[in-house]
Chain A
């Protein structure tokens, strides 16, 4: 493929990664930023979202779109609820100690994975997208005969991929407004700034934490439902979103939601675009080192302020 269309295609693919990553990472970011908890099981909540989506959409056998739409609501709610239970049973009892929560969430990760393996099985399972048309894309060239429209081989996108990007944007904008305008958003920010002070003002910290943990997990699940018609549900699928979200949250600056979203776009796009220029594994190495070096020279992240 010519450089131009190739670049654009990689950018489109990058945008898709970025959209889903933004949702998942914002989920991790609120948990990280507000509760100071490194939730290693975040990727498993993502995975559960995908698995539940598969279950709902195959059980409700009316029309793929109906099942999918239902999953879009059911999966995040169920996963969020499960996360709240985990918070109440485990994290709260650890007093949200940073080190111990890491270990405890590793334990949760094992439990969730194994239960999924035993119930859902080890196979990758597809979910039918509600709609999916391939749109071949044109390319414009200034050739000998002047301005020309060509249809490069393989240059296209599907309607569903575009819809995922748009839907993610809508959700993120909505979430942003919710956190900026609502009383709960205010409470969350107050808790994030100063836990002791929030307690002194009578904010029920533990309830806030439970909701935040549920919200974070729900967002991961939502991201998974959106991606599962493109990439199938599998019990080990949680590793990559965890790693990427983790990176995005740090690069974006701890607890900064706009920063997280910017970083998701940056990481998603660069992951796609670097692959245009280098051989795939080398591209991965370069992208990984890039993240490392950004943090070495800007430990507070690209969009964050230096921590005191």
Chain B
């Protein structure tokens, strides 16, 4: 079993000064799956992925990645194990070029093999269709392009697990289509954990959905199962 699932969390809790953000989250993500993590605002989605990639230390519980307990591992170590994370709020290096933004991630893996780095960077930029903007300063790019750059930064690292925190927020209609294509093209090779509000995107790309509500896992299942789940609908309707 352990080899099949790439990521497992057991009874992960996070308490922010008396406020329970996460309670006993047991989560399992099989290798190669595209998983969507949905839930109303404040459900704890970002906190949960934060505990996975190490930005937020869990109060208790354990996190296992690729058979290794990473609960107490430093952030950069986890990233080196093959986790890539794109920020919900764009967090590109705004004074560096788009190229350099992606190259930073690539170089961490391939060091100073410049040719290899170059081809991987251009490939990543190409996959999000901004290769022509490579020499632009990231801060000068449009918001949508910055979101895409953020994704390219993750792609460049060829991660085992790619965590995307609301990647389509602020993208134009055409760009969202491109994003869907991208995810589909990755499925099978890369395990993806997608936090997404856009149900359209979720339905079209995810294979499996986990619903988080008030810091607990409310439901899990295939896209179809979730579409008809009463609890899920209640959680969403209750809020919105």
A touching B, CB within 8 angstroms: no
* Interface residues in chain B, defined as those with a beta carbon under 8 Å from any beta carbon in chain A: none
* Interface residues in chain A, defined as those with a beta carbon under 8 Å from any beta carbon in chain B: none
